[in-house]
Structure 1
Amino acid sequence: MKLLIGNKCYSSWSLRAWLLLRAKGIPFEEKLVLLDEPGFKETIFAAAPGSGGTGPTLVDGEIAVWETLAIMEYLHDRHPELGIWPKDRAARAHARAASSEMHAGFQALRNACPMNLGKRFAERDRGAGVAKDVARITALWRDARSRFAVDGEGPFLYGAFSAADAMFAPVVARLDTYAIPVDPVSAAYMRAILDHPSYREWLAAALAEPWIVAQDEVDEPAVANLRQV
């Protein structure tokens, strides 16, 4: 199994698929394809003919899967024993709905706060659209934790780590990077993601990258630059 990904410092969608694979202990080969560089799509197409030419793309023999939620569903089908989605039917339905909402929405947060693991920014008002997105996201987190988290299974949205946590991991990174305040339940959930060994592995690799993607560098002073590039 091979996963084609973009730069770890910036590629939020790549983080989602990579984190799920690593957290669930599924063996795979990683291939980094530099974002915003000539030949990006051509490299993806060469490895996965018929794909969308985007990262992440999962290649498993003759099978290519190029959308993050589709990758997660493929892994669920291939490894039903691993708990890719919650085992309880109601929790699984909630997790899939929340993940689909994440996949399709929250454009204000995405646009105002692009994922950049190499910097930290001061807290400030980022507009009504961002505030609305954050309120909805944290409401989803609190709802999942209060209704579906199984005692003793873990600190994640549905207890044990699942595809839903992988879907929201880049949001956690954004809220942390841009110092956006959240309620105590959401803060505890964020800490569980940020402390996860697989996330820490991704972060360490991201901070070691030498590449800068200008379009993902926001025009405001950082309070900390975690990369020396």
Structure 2
Amino acid sequence: MELVIGTKAWSTWSMRPWLVLKKTGAPFQERIIQLRQENGGSEAAILPHSQTGLVPALKDGDVQISDSLAICEYLAERFPDMELWPKDARMRAYVRSAAAEMHSGFSSLRGECPMDLAAWPKAVTLSKATQKDVRRIVTLWSGLLTKFGGPYLGGEEWGIVDAFYTPVASRFHTYGVKLSDFGDKSGAAARYAERLLERPEFKAWLAGA
């Protein structure tokens, strides 16, 4: 398998399926496309590997898939023993909903606090829209951790939904976002964010950023 990804310091959507693929233990090659090239250079470099002109893209034999969530769904079916989604249908429905919410939402947080793994941590003043996003994330994380007992959103096992929120945890670290200011009274959401950044898959990604 080959996973085509963007610059590791910046590409959150590339990180997500990369973490999941790393968790499977399956051998794969990574092809890194430098993002933010001038004069459309990045898109031109991506197009031979992805019809959308976007990363990530997965190649597995004659299968080619674009979009991070679609790739993760493919990997869940390709490696069923890894339990990348919870076995329990009820749990699976909840965490799939949470991953989909990240996939389509939180635009203010993503725009105002772009991931930059090479940046020094710095405190910022968040807009009202981004504060709303952070509060929703705290509520979502806290609710799932309580419902399923943690330490991950789907219970005991790290999975796709946790990969989807790992770049969010990195943003909170980079921009000095204190989740206790956004409703995390017990500290469970903050501890979860720290847990994500201690995962071996994330540390492997960070080492290459």
TM-score normalised according to structure 2 size: 0.91
SS of equivalent to 2:72: helix
Over residues 149-186 of structure 1, what are the superposed CA-to-partner deviations in whole Å (9 max), with x where a residue is unaligned?
A: 36xxxx22122110000111110100111010112101
Unaligned runs of 5+ in 1: 207-229
**Structure 2 counterparts to residues 137-152 of structure 1, below 5 A:** 137-149=137-149
* 8 Å Cα contact 1:44-1:57 kept in structure 2: no
Higher-helix-fraction structure: 2
SS of equivalent to 1:203: helix
SS of equivalent to 2:122: coil
**Where does residue 129 of structure 2 map in the other structure?**
129
1:200 maps onto 2:196 in alignment: no
Q: What RMSD in Å do the two structures reach over aligned CA positions?
A: 1.4
* 8 Å Cα contact 1:58-1:64 kept in structure 2: yes
1:43 maps onto 2:45 in alignment: yes
Over residues 173-207 of structure 1, what are the superposed CA-to-partner deviations in whole Å (9 max), with x where a residue is unaligned?
A: 0011101011210111011111111111111211x
Cα distance between partner residues in 2 of 1:186 and 1:175: 11
* 8 Å Cα contact 2:22-2:201 kept in structure 1: yes
Unaligned runs of 5+ in 2: none
**Where does residue 120 of structure 2 map in the other structure?**
120
From the superposition, tell whether residues 2 and 149 of structure 1 become closer, same or farther in structure 2 (CA, over 3 Å): farther
Which residue, 149, 157, 164 being the options, matches 2:153? Answer: 157
**Where does residue 29 of structure 2 map in the other structure?**
29
Paired-residue identity, %: 38
Structure 1 outlier segments of 4+, above 4 Å? none
Q: How many residues align?
A: 200
**Where does residue 170 of structure 1 map in the other structure?**
167
Over residues 35-75 of structure 1, what are the superposed CA-to-partner deviations in whole Å (9 max), with x where a residue is unaligned?
A: 12244333333234xx3121110011111110111001111
Give, as a single letter, the amino acid of the residue that structure 2 aligns with 1:138.
V
**Structure 2 counterparts to residues 86-97 of structure 1, below 5 A:** 86-97=86-97
